[in-house]
Amino acid sequence: MKKPLILIADDDNAIRLVLEKKFNRSGFYTKSTAKGKTLLAWIKNGEGDLVITDVIMEDSNGLELLPLIQNVRPDLPIIVMSGLNTIKTAIDASASGAYEYFPKPFDLDKVLDVVIKAFNYEKSGIKKTEAENILYDDMPIIGRSPAMQEVYRILAKVVASDLTVMIRGESGTGKELIAQALHDYSPRKDKPFIAINMAAIPRELIESELFGYERGAFTGADRSRKGKFEQADEGTLFLDEIGDMPLEAQTRLLRVLQDGCFTSLGGKKLIYTNVRIVTATHRNLSDLINDGLFREDLYYRLNVVPIFVPPLRERADDVPLLVHHFLNQFTDIGSEKKIIDANALTKLENYQWPGNVRELENLIKRIIILTPHEIIDLETINLYLSKFESINTKNVNISLGASVEKHLNKYFDLHKNELPASGLYNRIIHEVERPLIVKTLKLVKGNQLKASELLGINRNTLRKKIMYLDIDIGNNNVNI
């Protein structure tokens, strides 16, 4: 096969050089230009096997070039890169049929992977699905950090499909917002978005809430009622806190996903459903699976497209944007918008945010309501943050034993009258052993001799534990 030729358009010389070097070394020919018009001329001339283009160039806009390129060479894969890192650019790129979108700065190896994939994809003859061009300017999700870019990239790829999405992330990171965006930008946007939170409904009512019931199905069912599945027909069903779904309901849900239909409680008629399922959880489902509390087969059905929403402390760059967004949002029309000073902002950027975006949102809301000052300074922030901190850290001072006991109580309660799977002793001990060893190794910078001394165990024993607890000790960075 002849060496493929990659056409590159970007008005940043440095980026062109880096890309050319990478691709030439990996066995591709390249040709690059700073001008969109030159790129188009090459393509019209029949040159090139793949295109990588920037969005904003001196003479043209890469996204506007896309339809022109597709007109003459519909099968030419196009990769779009942009420094305009909004969810809108990601969705625009995807909607105009780009094969892949990369926010800048990008990881060269990832770009290379995608290029290689694109050539195989071309050969397989699969056509790209045409995403609907439904775009809004006022984006609901704020944040341009690389971590959020990754979220947008996945979002943009799946909005037009019916793929099942599982959103993971700590509490308050914006999981529900993302679920809503998945619906709002999808072809189902004019149909219902129905959310149901497994943790907020009494466990015995979850099945009737989801699947509905007929009159007389149980005591108190004096009339029949449609369940959320039926209400969400043709739309999106958001199953929030999926980790809290009782096992019986999980079995039923799995069956619905397999068969595409179900019966209501006490009903005989098969009800066919056409819903897109989006789930969210802040819990570790692998642990729940190991503990026999979550069905593994259901997990695989739901986890088709995983989206991980990073905690706010890992995307401090987004804090100023969010602060301004919430200041705008909560300032009453007609009243003066408060200003935040640089020291106050730095404090917020360095704060740990255990409650993530929700905590930041509440903080700004309170400050707007409660402080008379025009300028939000460090003193104001310290005052309001300390009030929050005392709430957030209320339970931290209990002893390890008491904390373990609390967890065990919760664990046994979850099983109600049944017994957990056998092997309980080892499972629980591992749970405590693992963080202890990880923490110790971190303290001694990965030195196993020192760690074994500190722990008071034999070095070989430590090595074995590291192995069977699957602790990653690469590069001295001990990862959990």
| Euclidean distance between CA atoms 32 and 21, whole angstroms | 11
Minimum CB separation of residue 437 from ligand ATP in Å reads 29
Least CB distance from residue 361 to ligand ATP, whole Å? Answer: 5
Among 307, 327, 357, 376, contact with ligand ATP (rule: CB under 6 A): 357
Task: State the nearest-atom distance from the C-beta of 471 to ligand ATP, in Å.
Answer: 28
Residue 317 binds Mg ion (CB under 5 A): no
- What is the secondary structure of 275-300 as a DSSP string? -EEEEEESS-HHHHHHTTSS-HHHHH
Burial 332-346 (b: 16+ CB within 10 A, else e): eeeeeebebeeebbe
Does 141 help bind Mg ion (rule: CB under 5 A)? Answer: no
Q: How far is the CB of 172 from ligand ATP (least distance, A)?
A: 5
Q: Which does 431 bind (CB under 5 to 8 A by kind): Mg ion, ligand ATP, none?
A: none
* Nearest distance from C-beta of residue 184 to ligand ATP, angstroms: 13
Cβ-based nearer residue to Mg ion, 175 or 315: 175
- CA gyration radius for the chain? 27
Binding mask of the shown chain, residues 166 to 185, with x at each position contacting Mg ion by CB under 5 A:
---------xx---------
Q: Candidates 324, 338, 347, 358: give the one binding ligand ATP (CB under 6 A).
A: 358
The stretch among 60-68, 114-122, 141-149, 368-376 that binds ligand ATP (CB under 6 A) is: 141-149
Rule CB under 6 A: say whether 188 interacts with ligand ATP.
no
Residue 116 or residue 139: which is nearer to ligand ATP going by CB? 139
CB 164 within 8 A of CB 239: no
What is the C-alpha separation between 294 and 291, in angstroms, rounded? 8
CB-based contact 279:238 (threshold 8 Å): yes
Does residue 122 bind Mg ion (CB under 5 A)? no
Query: In this chain, which of 48, 172, 227, 235 binds ligand ATP, going by CB under 6 A?
Result: 172
Q: How far is CA 122 from the centre of its chain?
A: 29
| Secondary structure (3-state) at 57 | coil
Pairing of strands 165-168, 305-308: parallel
Q: Which amino acid is at 206?
A: I
Q: Which of 183, 282, 295, 465 binds ligand ATP (CB under 6 A)?
A: 282
In the complex, which residue's CB is closest to ligand ATP?
174
Verify cis geometry, omega within 30 degrees of 0, for the bond prior to 105.
yes
Count CA atoms within 13 Å of residue 396 on its CB side: 7
The C-alpha atoms of residue 417 and residue 287 are separated, in whole angstroms, by 20
User: Do 99 and 78 touch, CB atoms closer than 8 A?
Assistant: yes
**Per CB under 6 A, which of residues 322..341 are in contact with ligand ATP?**
325
Smallest gap from Cβ 455 to ligand ATP, in A, equals: 35
From Mg ion, ligand ATP, none, interface partner of 169 (C-beta below 5 to 8 A by class): ligand ATP
Q: Give the nearest distance from C-beta 201 to Mg ion in angstroms.
A: 14
The residue (of 4 and 174) whose beta carbon lies closer to Mg ion is 174
d(CA 283, CA 302): 15
Write phi, then psi, for 190 (nearest 5 degrees). -85, -5
For Mg ion, give the closer residue by CB, 14 or 200: 200
Nearer to ligand ATP, 216 or 306 (CB): 306
Coil, strand or helix at 385: helix
**Side chain identity, residue 63:** L
Which of 142, 198, 363, 367 binds ligand ATP (CB under 6 A)? It is 142
**Cβ neighbours around 308 below 10 Å, total:** 14
Residues that bind Mg ion (CB under 5 A): 175-176
Residues that bind ligand ATP (CB under 6 A): 141-143, 169, 171-177, 282, 325, 357-358, 361
